[in-house]
Structure 1
Amino acid sequence: MAMLPARKPNQALYVPPALRDAENCSVLRLDGQPEKTGNSTTDGAKNVSVKDVGLHSMLQSLSLSGARCSTKLVQTKQTSNPWDNFKRESQMTESNVSSEVSNKEPEIDYGRFKHVLELYGFSKELNSADLQAELSGFEDSGFYLKWVDDTHCLAVFSSPMEADRALSQISGILFKAHKFEFASLESKRKLAKSPGDWAMPYKRRPLTTSATARRLIQGHLGLRPSEPQRQQELESEKRDKQLLAEARAQYERRKKAQKSMWEDDTWNF
């Protein structure tokens, strides 16, 4: 068995590079006394300068090694978690795509929706009754309103001709109107969600009476009314038709009277 040395060696077994440079550049003795030469002042200055050079080289080597370590740490942090980088890039890509999609106008065949107008430029306090009052001259042909938001509404008329007539008669005091092809992006998106519901122009429901409704229901159920009941239904239906005709004639007379009153330019004081 090899025997261990009996005493501690005179010099260290491992000396760091910084200390090696300092020992090589230094001219000091092990006991701390400088060597004696002919010119003591010059030798002292040389010893001090050599010592400063050794300390400077030691600090420089330590700073370089620290810089290398910090650079490696930064590189390690940057490349340590590639999943975070992938998530960050995917989020940026999704945000860019969503912004492009949100600003993209939907594809619509505007030739199929010439009977639709967009009403805009009105106050949030207005409701459907206010808009219908402005379009009061189109009850006969019929129309209906579909709201987009508080300041935009779509008016669906019975034909493109009626829509053009309404566009020319709207005063623009309460609200403004234009064709659907010039509508806002939100209105176009609302129509694009279900274009089939908007493609058919407005069609007024035919006028029915209780006798007509009863006869239709009995016909679908396969029931035949008795003769007296049928006579009563026919008489009731006849009376309802007369009442409807009288109401319509009264409405036409009132409408003509209002029109003649506004068109009369003669004033009697």
Structure 2
Amino acid sequence: MKHILEIYQFPSHFKNKDFMEAFDSYRQDGFDIKWVDSSHVLAIFSSSKSAWRCLKSNSAVLKVRPLSQATRASKVKARRYSDFLQPSGPRPQTSALTANRLIMNALGLRLNQSKSQYKAELTKLKQEKMDIPLSEKGTSGEASS
């Protein structure tokens, strides 16, 4: 879990918004925090590359270290919630194909799209579905509750 860092020895008055402001440059790529206790927070980045960049930036206000050097409590929390602490991947490109079809059918209108355009968009959607790893589709074989 190289995409997770531990934040420690921060001011006691710090709240979620303070961490989000401190790590604002990482929020666009995907950044979240999970509290371990009152003096330790897990910083979850979208990739190990982002986490490494943060680790090397040496913030004057916040001390950050890799999970391998974290406290026992942080390591336990990261292991316990490992399924929820996975980095977020890029969202697949969306298409208006289904929405257009549903709206046009509901209005009783014909879709003004040539068959070749429709087939091309449908093929593109099928290809993107095939490119999504099984773990992202939620079919990893585990029972969901």
Larger radius of gyration: 1
Whole-Å Cα distance in 2 between the matches of residues 186 and 224 of structure 1? 55
Cα deviation 1:92-123 (Å, max 9, x = unaligned): xxxxxxxxxxxxxxxxxxxxx00111111112
Gapped regions of structure 1 (runs ≥ 5): 1-112, 232-269
Whole-Å Cα distance in 2 between the matches of residues 164 and 224 of structure 1? 50
Q: 1:134, 1:170 within 8 Å by CA — same for their partners in 2?
A: no
1:140 maps to 28
Residue 201, structure 1, aligned to residue 82, structure 2:
no
Structure 1 residues 170, 137: closer, same or farther in 2, change over 3 A?
Answer: farther
The one of 180, 185, 189 aligned to 2:72: 185
Whole-Å Cα distance in 1 between the matches of residues 7 and 75 of structure 2? 13
Whole-Å Cα distance in 2 between the matches of residues 182 and 148 of structure 1? 15
Higher strand share: 2
TM-score of the aligned structures, taking structure 2 as reference length: 0.62
Q: 1:117, 1:155 within 8 Å by CA — same for their partners in 2?
A: yes
2:6 maps to 118
What is the aligned-residue RMSD (CA, Å)?
A: 3.2
The offset of 1:224, in angstroms, is 3.1
Gapped regions of structure 2 (runs ≥ 5): 113-145
Q: 1:118, 1:183 within 8 Å by CA — same for their partners in 2?
A: yes
DSSP-derived class of the 2:12 partner: coil
Q: 2:20, 2:27 within 8 Å by CA — same for their partners in 1?
A: no
DSSP-derived class of the 2:42 partner: strand
Structure 1 residues 206, 146: closer, same or farther in 2, change over 3 A?
Answer: farther
DSSP-derived class of the 1:196 partner: coil
**Which aligned runs of 4 or more in structure 1 are off by greater than 3 angstroms?**
203-208
The offset of 1:190, in angstroms, is 1.0
TM-score of the aligned structures, taking structure 1 as reference length: 0.35
Higher relative contact order (CA 8 A, sep 6+): 2
2:105 maps to 224
Structure 1 residues 144, 215: closer, same or farther in 2, change over 3 A?
Answer: same
Higher helix share: 1
The offset of 1:137, in angstroms, is 1.0
Q: How does 1:25-40 map to 2 (within 5 A)?
A: none
The one of 48, 51, 59 aligned to 1:160: 48
Whole-Å Cα distance in 1 between the matches of residues 32 and 69 of structure 2? 20
Cα deviation 1:153-206 (Å, max 9, x = unaligned): 111111111111111224132x200111011111111122232223x3123667
How many residues are paired up?
110
Q: 1:157, 1:163 within 8 Å by CA — same for their partners in 2?
A: yes
